[in-house]
Structure 1
Amino acid sequence: MTTGEVGARLGLSQAKVSRVETGSSGLRMRDVQAMLGLYRVPEPRAAEILDLVRQAAEPGWVQVHGRGLPEQWQTLIDWESRAVALRVHHGALVPGLLQTADYARAAIRDTSSITPGEPELDVKVAARLARQGILSRESPPSLHAIIGEPALRLPVGGHAVLSAQLRHLLEVVRRPHVVLQVVPETRGAHPGLEGPFLVMDLPQGRRVVHTEHRSRSLFLDDESEVAEHRRAWRRIEDLALSPRDSADLIAALC
């Protein structure tokens, strides 16, 4: 069925159906239920999807990572696709939105229990790279990334992979909607050492923070928790090199 045919059967506009299916619009339970019924989705799978819709509407909900399928990233992809601005900090690794395929593969393989050749690795690498599609949209969100200097020196995947990753960063920062800064090791301790985080600015002024750990992802939209992460971001930004000086440091390490 085309999106027009789906809309006609469910009493929805074609544009609405398209926004729901591409993840560029928020989901209403009754719309999802109607589409699941029309598509004859088996009951167990339909129940899983509806549960995700319910959870996504709740503040500060936790998603436990599964194996095999990158479902732990699907919600993140959905949030990122709606964002108008993204601010991400990682102290030890290049953030996923800026990783090359080889770097992503090495990072996922070497920081988890996945063995080389396991299908799960290919699936998770593909999922991570799929997130980067938002940066190539006609109207992409702004991206401000701050990374720690150790991320520029850690030979993830070997020195050749790291060198290619650094050159990729220099290409990405040429885009007008991307800003990249580096926090030098000489700055000492700062709030970013508590772990990586991503602040997503959504339409209508809403903000969601995402943090990821070994076995679970946490989405926070409580005002106090979002405010705490924004204060941490400002502190980290104050310690970071300017975008130009950051690019010069990256170039020197290529």
Structure 2
Amino acid sequence: MLGDELRRQRESRGYTLEQAARVLRASISKVSRVELGVSPAKPRDVHDLADFYRLSREERAEIEQLLAQATQADLYDLYADVTPRYLVRLIRLEQQAKEVCVWDPRVVPGLLQTPAYARAMVEAADLGLSSTEVGRTVDLRLGRQRELNARKPRFEALIDELVLYRLRGSIEDMIEQIDHLLQAPDHYKVRIVSPEAPTSPSPVVHLKLVDGAHQEVAYVENLNSAIYVTKKPGLDRYRQLLTRVRDLAMDRKESIEALKKARKHWESKLAAVSSEH
């Protein structure tokens, strides 16, 4: 469907396969394979063609939706062996979300993890995975991040400040992770919550959806399972939980200062280790 739409937009504007290929700096056969659905379309190529075709806002929205569906299918196909069944529905929901809010008092949320931090987290879970499976699990997490970045829903992460001081991987990995949070894109809101704030110890993901049978869903993950809450009483309870955490969270300026303070902490640790050697 994505290939058909790209072909229709190209032909309706009178462009040839050769012209589209020049935009992508690719061969004519590659563009043809993408339009026929034989080869997967890379998000960057789709965005470059959308710019070249000067698509309207409505046309771009349709293309983005088809792209999300196509890449979502690719994720299932590529990582089915390391995707827990309970996680499949969350990945689908992320592709329909217009707003995502995550509260996690334990770790940096997966959708904001760097590769090194994600690997440390997967290894710490001690699930008996091989090195290859660990790498594929990390790749799956990064794939979800890329898809979310392509769609640009409103994303809010509420992170306990203690998480910034809990070593995951190496000291260098922690510095890299904090830098990643400091450099989060504009459509991401990262807010830090003081450990002194009386918050709930339960992590939760709340999603507001573009369409579907349910307009909002709360996701609560346990060690080897997850609960999806769609009924009003449960949703009200988790919505109130997140509202309380938001009310207690630092504002943007305070959050940036908290992140910088944590970065200095790890920098001093790194300097101390270096001086010992």
| Cα-Cα RMSD | 3.0
Question: For the structure 1 residues 165 and 222, does the alpha-carbon distance in structure 2 shift closer, same or farther, using more than 3 Å as the test?
Answer: same
Higher relative contact order (CA 8 A, sep 6+): 1
Contact 1:170 1:247 in 2 (8 A): yes
Q: How does 1:185-204 map to 2 (within 5 A)?
A: 185-187=195-197, 189-191=198-200, 193=201, 195-204=202-211
Give how far 1:219 is off. 1.5
- Gap regions ≥5 residues in structure 2: 5-35, 38-61, 264-277
* 1:158 Cα deviation from its structure 2 partner: 2.2
Which of structures 1 and 2 has the bigger CA Rg?
2
Q: 1:241 aligns with which of 250, 253, 275?
A: 250
The equivalent residue for 2:110 is: 96
Aligned with residue 77 of structure 1, among 91, 95, 99: 91
Q: Which secondary structure state, in structure 2, belongs to the residue aligned with residue 186 of structure 1?
A: coil
In structure 2, the CA distance between the partners of 1:121 and 1:20, relative to structure 1 (3 Å rule), is closer
Aligned position for 2:166: 154
Per-residue deviation, residues 122-163 of structure 1 (Å, max 9, x unmatched)? 1211111111013421x4101011010111100101211111
Match of 2:234 among 221, 225, 237: 225
- The answer to whether the 8 Å contact 1:144/1:180 transfers is yes
Query: Which residue does 2:42 correspond to in 1?
Result: none
**Cα–Cα, structure 1 residues 221 and 23, in superposed 2: closer, same or farther, change >3 Å?**
farther
Query: What is residue 22 of structure 1 aligned with on the other side?
Result: 70
Contact preservation (8 Å) 1:197, 1:209: yes
Is 1:118 matched up with 2:131? yes
Q: Any gaps of 5 or more consecutive residues in structure 1?
A: 7-13, 26-48, 50-66
Map Cα deviations across residues 194-219 of structure 1 (whole Å, 9 max, x no partner): x2110000025810111111111222
Pair 1:91–1:20, CA change in 2 (3 A): closer
- The Cα shift of 1:190 comes to 1.8
Contact 2:155 2:187 (C-alpha < 8 Å) held by counterparts: yes
Please, which moves more after superposition, 211-220 or 144-153? Answer: 211-220
The amino acid across from 1:231 in the alignment is Q
User: Structure 1 residues 99 and 2, CA, compared in 2 at 3 Å: closer, same or farther?
Assistant: closer
Give 1:211's aligned residue: 220
Structure 1 stretches of 4+ moved >3 Å: 1-6, 17-21
Report the alpha carbon displacement of residue 78 of structure 1 after superposing the two structures with TM: 1.2
Contact persistence 1:87–1:199 (CA under 8 A):
yes
Sequence identity, in percent? 23
User: 2:122 maps to what in 1?
Assistant: 108
Paired position in structure 2 for 1:169: 181
> Does the 8 Å contact 1:24/1:82 carry over to 2?
no
Paired with 2:233 and 2:127, the residues of 1 have a C-alpha distance of 35
Q: State the Cα distance separating 1:24 from its structure 2 match.
A: 7.7
Shift in CA distance, 164/3, structure 1 to aligned 2, threshold 3 Å: closer
Contact 1:103 1:157 in 2 (8 A): yes
Q: Is the 8 A contact 2:182 2:259 kept in 1?
A: yes
SS class of match (1:228): helix
Residues 152 and 2 from structure 1, CA distance in 2 versus in 1: closer, same or farther, beyond 3 angstroms? closer
Question: How far did 1:19 drift?
Answer: 6.9
Cα displacement (A) at 1:75:
2.1
CA contact (8 A) 1:114 1:120 kept: no
1:69 Cα shift?
2.0
Q: What number of residue pairs does the alignment pair up?
A: 200
Tell me the distance in 1 between the aligned counterparts of 2:71 and 2:207. Answer: 15
1:241 is displaced (CA, Å) by 0.9
Q: Deviations over 1:92-149 (max 9, x none)?
A: 200001000000000111023335x532211211111111013421x41010110101
